[in-house]
Structure 1
Amino acid sequence: MSTDALIMLRRNVKHTLRNPVTLFNAIFMPIIMMLMFVYVLGGAFDVGGDYVDYATPGMIMMAITYGLSATAVSVSSDMTKGIINRFKVMDVSRGAVLTGHVVSTVARTAFAVAAIIGIALLFGFHPNGSFVDWLAAAGVLLLLIIAVSWLTVAFGLGARSVEAAGFFAVPLIMLPFFSSAIVPAAKMGPGIREFAQYQPFTAIIESVRGFLTGVPAPGQTIAALAWSLAIAVAGYLWARAQFAKRA
């Protein structure tokens, strides 16, 4: 990573630490969701085993998506408040601005995922995956986090206002609710069941679930990697095009 990118990363991290709403949405909200689904609603779901074991991969997905609106808002704020023009005067690399946002989002999200896993273990989560399985799950999640980070940066660049930027991230936040994160897709009603089965987050959740339970699902993992790579490429190209047009 270049010196300019490191400077942008440090700047974004400082902004995150000074914003309690960002920290709440990215870290504490997923924990609250896990408390609600595991302890309040978990007994209502028949998943063929301990609900916390089933729900943990889905809660990890929610931890990934809940902090994305902060990234979109931060990027949009940079574009609408003249910060980018100041960076141009300072001869800061254009690519470093985007990279700084992406890396800070990845770091913040990785911390949120670690927090969810720690809470899940306290709740009785019993993963059966080997060390290699855990590494594979981490790789799938890291690729996804990078992918949605670039896509969210593109959302922020494309938005015409800070408020619109936050709204653009809502579909990514809601998508895990229409997947196998909370209940198996097969138990859903017609229409929503088919959507849940074939949308990208279900493949990613099932891939991670397979690794953590020690029963890898190669087909789901291939689909998860394909979806994540497609999202990453689309987000990166869109972000660079938007930045070149507006900066």
Structure 2
Amino acid sequence: MTVMTEVGTLIGRSVRHTARSVDATIVAIVLPVMILLTFVYVLGGAIDTGTDYLTYVVPGIVVLCAAHGSAMTATSVNHDLTTGMVDRIRSLPVVGASLLVGHVVAGVLRNLVSTAVVIAVAVLLGFRPAASPLDWVLTTGLLALFMAAFGAIAAAWGLFVRGPEAAGALAFVLLFLPYVSSAFVPPETMPAVLRGFAAHQPTTPVVETLRALLLGGAESSPAVPAVLWCAGLLVAGVAAAGALFRRRTS
């Protein structure tokens, strides 16, 4: 119970920091909406997916904003490390890892809010999901697992690099993955090298599973590979973050 209280307190701290930071709020909520509008109204007319492009692209935008939002965790963790917050926490009878858990969970909550905003805007634009209540629960669970996995990796990166500027560079890497996947165009339209990469990277099965859940084809979705990718990345991120936290604070 003591550890849960510590984690809850540090989650609340991270959430309050986000709420009080205007630029973080804009990046987390407004930017995904702008990306959605850009793809639908600027690029969508030139992309043939065999279906309505808004319907096709919404799951990809959701994954893109989840990956980008998770990368913000790296900057937050590095800021706490370089400004002495980690030292203050370790001087108290508090489990040091609670700080990292607080950042990751707060990032998941922030990303779920931005995802809800993106889907609401998409519905206003004409997106009509066919998901059942169970499908919505599964969608939320998969997204939370995906966000936690990328958040743990971001926390490890924030502990690895020396400054917030380097920590922020992770956002560009995580933004790249959804673009080279089935998020925005069918992989079969890509060159052979990119097609192979798109078929064997984590965001493609996640996007396809979300697309199937939201549009009513869950029985044919690659759900198992999506969950395995997310679980594997989460375990790797937690292990790396734990090792780097002990190294940076020893």
TM-score range, shorter chain: over 0.9
Partners of 1:170 and 1:210 in 2: CA distance: 27
Matched, 1:36 2:32: no
Equivalence for 1:56: 58
Equivalence for 2:198: 196
- Percent identical across equivalent pairs? 38
1:192-222 CA-partner distances (Å, limit 9, x unpaired): 1211122110110001101111112556111
Contact 1:61–1:205 (8 Å) recurs in 2: yes
Equivalence for 1:19: 21
- TM-score, length basis structure 2: 0.94
Q: Which of these residues, 76, 93, 115, is aligned with residue 117 of structure 2? A: 115
Q: Which of these residues, 94, 103, 106, is aligned with residue 105 of structure 2? A: 103
Letter in 1 for 2:15: V
1:69-119 CA-partner distances (Å, limit 9, x unpaired): 321111001111111111122222212111110111011001011111101
Equivalence for 1:241: 243
Question: Offset of 1:240 from its aligned partner?
Answer: 0.8
Partners of 2:133 and 2:20 in 1: CA distance: 36
Partners of 1:62 and 1:116 in 2: CA distance: 11
Partners of 1:68 and 1:225 in 2: CA distance: 17
Letter in 2 for 1:52: L
Structure 1 vs Structure 2 CA RMSD? 1.4
Partners of 1:217 and 1:157 in 2: CA distance: 40
Query: Number of residues paired by the alignment?
Result: 247
Structure 1 unmatched runs, 5+: none
Partners of 1:137 and 1:18 in 2: CA distance: 29
**Residues 151-170 of structure 1: matches in 2 within 5 Å?**
151-170=153-172
Matched, 1:227 2:229: yes
Question: Offset of 1:67 from its aligned partner?
Answer: 1.7
Contact 1:22–1:67 (8 Å) recurs in 2: no
Question: Offset of 1:68 from its aligned partner?
Answer: 2.7
Partners of 2:104 and 2:12 in 1: CA distance: 12
Partners of 1:70 and 1:130 in 2: CA distance: 32
Q: Secondary structure at the match of 2:192?
A: coil
Relative to structure 2, which stretch is displaced further, 121-130 or 227-236? 121-130
Structure 2 unmatched runs, 5+: none
Partners of 2:66 and 2:109 in 1: CA distance: 11
Q: Which aligned segments of 4 or more residues in structure 1 are displaced greater than 3 angstroms?
A: none
Distance 1:232 1:218, change over 3 A: farther
- TM-score, length basis structure 1: 0.95
